[in-house]
Amino acid sequence: MARVLVSDKLSTTAVQIFKDRGVEVDYLPDLGKDKDKLLEVIGQYDGLAIRSATKVTEKVIEAAPKLKVVGRAGIGVDNVDIPAASRKGIIVMNTPFGNSITTAEHAIALMFAVARQIPAADASTQAGKWEKNRFMGVEITGKTLGIIGCGNIGAIVASRGVGLKMRVVAFDPFLSPERAATLGIEKVELEELFRRADFITLHTPLTDRTRNIIDAAAIAMMKDGVRIINCARGGLVAEKDLADAIRSGKVAGAGVDVFETEPATDSPLFGLDNVVCTPHLGASTSEAQENVALQVAEQMADYLVQGAVSNALNMPSISAEEAPILTPYVKLAEILGSFAGQLTEEPIKEVEILFDGSPAGMNTRALVAAALAGLLKPQMQSVNMVSAPLMAKERGIAVSEVRRDKTGVFDGYVQLTVKTEKQSRSVAGTCFSDGKPRFIQIKGINMEADVGSHMLYTANKDIPGVIGELGMTFGRKGINIANFHLGRDHEGGNAIALLYLDGPLSEEFLDEVRALKAIGQAKLLTFDV
């Protein structure tokens, strides 16, 4: 019998689900806060069900030889070392949609609280004061609400804003004009949002691109008297810069539910007038707590008892019967999507996936989901095979698939084509008998290339000396090239190269490569292989 530890506060109904499914469960809701005790007992368990208090570090994972699955009741997995779990073959699951409405409602609640200074007015009144003139608020109606990130939660906030008779503008690289029109909002660039918005609310993941997306430079572009709400992730807003802007009067107020360091016992924002702070309550309603707890218990039990995988962040959702044949092509589809996603910076309008030969007879739904997960992951790190199709649909990305009988020299291959307003980009690959994915065509140019963790993609004109110039540049820096793959459309035409590297390159060195006269484009790519 599989055994699960629940180390954070989850609904007791979830505990009963484990028992009903034949899983032994120990409900110790305070154990997650005790790192030493967790390390002492984790080796006894096949599954670990958590919320945010338990930190599943590499040290915890090393101490858990039996552990097969970690289930996070909620969407954020910042407290789980996913790479370490993957290396140990531990599946990490989350519940991506269980608390969307709750988080959106909390953002709206903070917006009202900041607009009318409700917490400070309450404290003043309960202290026996009657300071009507001190608490002069602003109306919500007719104001412009700027939403940064218009995915599942952002779209809910947008609909509430429209219902409040606000003018809603949104910045999201994946939001199509058609989807924006359906929501009744306007898609804008980030700088325009900063200039126009009276209220700004964030609903985007924390990535390298979004970290400190609101800092002193961004605030300088905003209206005087803007109000800022963050119920998404700490680190999206530079807290010191926001505090300085509030003191100067540039920013009239802020509602903050998430912090750079949590638990937040100290912050530059604490003690400032008209800053409303809450302790990461975005998902803290009885309905949301119940939803995510039940969902994570069902997912974990299904995996431990039946081997079914759903909402996994580090493993495709594939049945046990399909796995031996499908898994290599799932990885291939994800890599093709990742290739296109890392090279595409404009909003994506269409995705077409062609299955030629043997893959056409497989579970192409899983392959499409894997390709979309790879495509969207550079922008949304928490996306997985389950959530990717819905996220693509929410962003107005048209997804189509084509199946056909074998047409070429390969037993089968997959081709991914991504279309934006300005261009169409395609990449194709196959799996050989060893199960490893290979690139076989990029931008219509045939080539055969292994897939590595770190690769450099370059595009140039087919002229003499390009290979030598690249090789000399790498040689001068003492950087080894493991493999060098080349292709061109015709003599003297367009040429591409894929360099398989031993490790990542610095931005400074990439700039040197891009500065070479022969190189038209250079992009460092990373793949989970």
Q: Which residues are catalytic?
A: 233, 262, 280
* 258 contact partners, CB below 8 Å, separation of at least 6: 230, 231, 232, 233, 234, 236, 280, 282
Lookup: tokens for 189: 């660039």
C-alpha distances out from residue 220 to 244, 249, 275, Å: 11, 12, 19
DSSP β-bridge partners for residue 415: 354, 428
Q: Is the peptide bond before 177 cis (omega within 30 degrees of 0)?
A: no
Q: What is the 3-state secondary structure (H, E, C) of 3-56?
A: EEEECCCCCHHHHHHHHHCCCEEEECCCHHHCHHHHHHHHHHCCEEEECCCCCE
Q: Are 172 and 395 in contact (CB under 8 A)?
A: yes
What is the phi-psi region of residue 396: left when phi exceeds 0, alpha when psi lies from -120 to 50, beta otherwise?
Answer: left
Q: What are the beta bridge partners of residue 420?
A: 348
Cβ burial of 258 (10 Å; 0-12, 13-18, 19+) is buried
3 state DSSP class of 320? coil
Task: Give the separation between CA 24 and CA 371, rounded to whole angstroms.
Answer: 36
Side-chain half-sphere CA neighbours of 60 within 13 A: 28
d(CA 13, CA 520): 59
Task: Measure Cα distances from 96 to 77, 241, 291, 387 in Å.
Answer: 10, 31, 11, 7
